[in-house]
């Protein structure tokens, strides 16, 4: 199986523009021969437009000609010139200037106190810290615990406001879903209690 771009679209093009066997096309595109047969019969990938593997740099004309001349020949894909552009880029770890690194425990303390719904993994990713450091701040075993105080990470310049809002929103939505799955609802009697309190307030008036 070759790791090629748009395998089904490539198979569509090869079915329409070559005399290769279904097995050859399936092998090159990483599909099952029956799937290629379905493409040829118009039962599969009817709405997919064919992609020319020669023009996009994944196949040479020589390879195609060799395959058409010999049903036993198996084509080898070339590295597409577009592959690097389409490859997902891995986000680099967040870099925190040395001058601000001593502020991270304060930001961790802020998250722990104000947003317990946010996971340690999210905090670590947002602040560029480690889970062990978060545990130390939470359990007050950090070497500088006596001087750590909760401070908004935005004001410390460790994270942007929009990014912080997105993290809080995502964590809140996940917690709501988890609570819904567990069937957590308003405590029984809470509504009655609030009604009684309202009645008492009206009597006092």
- Mean pLDDT over 8-18 rounds to 91
- Mean pLDDT over 110-127 rounds to 90
Q: Are residues 108 and 58 in the same domain?
A: no
Q: pTM score, two decimals?
A: 0.42
pLDDT at residue 46 in the model: 73
**Residue range of the domain that includes 43:** 7-86
User: Structurally, how many domains does the chain consist of?
Assistant: 2
Which pLDDT tens digit goes with each residue over 48-94? 888 888 888 888 999 999 999 999 999 988 865 554 444 554 555 55
pLDDT at residue 98 in the model: 47
Q: Are residues 66 and 155 in the same domain?
A: no
Please say whether the dihedral angle defined by the alpha carbons of residues 17, 9, 54 and 69, taken in this order, is positive or negative.
negative
Residue 58 burial (C-beta neighbours within 10 Å; 0-12, 13-18, 19+): buried
Q: Are residues 155 and 62 in the same domain?
A: no
Which pLDDT tens digit goes with each residue over 141-188? 988 888 899 998 888 888 888 888 889 888 888 888 887 887 754 444
Distance of alpha carbon 70 from its chain centroid, rounded? 43
Query: Are 41 and 55 spatial neighbours (Cβ–Cβ below 8 Å)?
Result: no
Query: Are 122 and 134 spatial neighbours (Cβ–Cβ below 8 Å)?
Result: no
Scored b (16 or more CB within 10 A) or e, 177-195 reads: eeeeeeeeeeeeeeeeeee
Q: Provide the mean pLDDT of the chain.
A: 79
Q: Are residues 105 and 194 in the same domain?
A: yes
Residue in 146, 143, 156 with CA at minimum distance from that of residue 111: 156
- What's the DSSP call for residue 146? G
Which of the pair, 6 or 20, is modelled with greater confidence? 20
Last residue of a domain, one of 86, 112, 142: 86
- Rounded Cα distance, 104 and 181, in Å: 34
Whole-number Cα distances in Å, 69 to 19, 24, 74, 79: 9, 12, 11, 23
């Amino acid at each position: 199986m070759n790791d090629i771009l748009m395998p089904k679209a490539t198979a569509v093009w090869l079915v329409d523009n070559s005399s290769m066997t279904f097995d050859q096309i399936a092998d090159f595109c990483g599909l099952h021969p029956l799937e290629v047969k379905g493409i040829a019969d118009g039962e599969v990938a009817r709405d997919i437009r064919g992609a020319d593997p020669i023009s996009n740099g994944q196949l040479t004309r020589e390879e195609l000609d060799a395959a058409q001349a010999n049903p036993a020949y198996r084509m080898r894909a070339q590295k597409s010139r577009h592959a690097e552009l389409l490859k997902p880029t891995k986000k680099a770890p967040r870099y925190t200037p040395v001058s601000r690194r001593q502020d991270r425990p304060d930001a961790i303390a802020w998250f722990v106190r104000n947003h317990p719904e946010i996971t340690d993994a999210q905090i670590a990713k947002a602040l560029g810290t480690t889970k062990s450091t978060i545990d130390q701040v939470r359990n007050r075993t950090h070497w500088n615990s006596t001087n750590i105080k909760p401070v908004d990470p935005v004001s410390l310049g460790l994270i942007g406001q929009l990014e912080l809002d997105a993290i809080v929103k995502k964590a809140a939505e996940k917690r709501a879903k988890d609570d819904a799955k567990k069937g957590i609802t308003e405590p029984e009697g809470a509504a009655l209690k609030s009604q009684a309190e309202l009645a008492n307030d009206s009597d006092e008036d």
